[in-house]
């Protein structure tokens, strides 16, 4: 696994985990990447400070493999298994409204529809418009194998 510092055209910074630099380049070329903060598809690698692994620093031991790391509270530092578990929980406990997401979010916000947890798709412009109306929206990277679940 390789971790890259990434950024979008809205100056949001975040980390991306890839199997190789070739994997990152392929996903970028195929427009499979988006900003987790605003949903922008315009993602670029940022300059990173070099890290040398000399093998001399002792790694702290965890009590168990399931024990959270000291820095697990940060979204970008979750390991892949924890992130998948979190995303799976969100997918299972929300209603997928698909492309109707912006419209449904507004109906719920303005109390024209029953309060419920929803997910769906929206363009970066639609996300910006929802936020301008005071509607909280969080982009979520849903893996393809979980994307087809309707509820």
CA–CA separation, 88 and 1 (whole Å): 21
pLDDT at 144 over 70: no
Query: What pLDDT is recorded for position 2?
Result: 79
pLDDT at 17 over 80: yes
Alpha-carbon dihedral 38, 40, 42, 44, rounded to 10 degrees:
30
Query: Confidence band (pLDDT; 50, 70, 90) for 140?
Result: confident
Per domain, the residue ranges of the chain are: 1-47, 86-147
pLDDT at 151 over 50: no
pLDDT at 14 over 90: no
Q: Tell me: the pLDDT tens digits for 21-74?
A: 888 888 888 988 888 888 888 998 887 655 544 555 544 444 444 444 433 334
Give the residue among 14, 2, 79, 17 at the shortest CA–CA distance from 40: 14
Q: Tell me: the pLDDT tens digits for 102-132?
A: 999 999 999 999 999 998 888 889 988 999 9
Of 74 and 141, which is predicted with more confidence? 141
Q: Angle 148-149-151 (CA atoms, 0-180°, nearest 5)?
A: 150
């Amino acid at each position: 696994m390789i971790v890259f510092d990434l950024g979008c055209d809205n100056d949001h910074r975040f980390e991306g985990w890839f199997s190789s630099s070739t994997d990152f380049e392929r996903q970028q070329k195929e427009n499979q990447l988006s900003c987790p903060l605003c949903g922008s598809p315009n993602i670029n690698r940022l300059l990173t400070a070099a890290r040398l692994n000399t093998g001399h620093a002792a790694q702290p031991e965890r009590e168990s493999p399931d024990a959270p790391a000291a820095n697990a509270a940060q979204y970008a530092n979750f390991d892949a298994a924890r992130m998948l578990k979190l995303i799976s929980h969100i997918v299972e406990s929300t209603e997928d409204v698909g492309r109707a997401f912006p419209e449904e979010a507004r109906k719920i916000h303005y109390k024209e529809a029953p309060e419920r947890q929803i997910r769906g798709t929206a363009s970066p412009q639609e996300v910006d418009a929802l936020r301008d109306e005071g509607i909280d929206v969080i982009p979520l990277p849903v893996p393809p194998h979980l994307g087809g679940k309707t509820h």
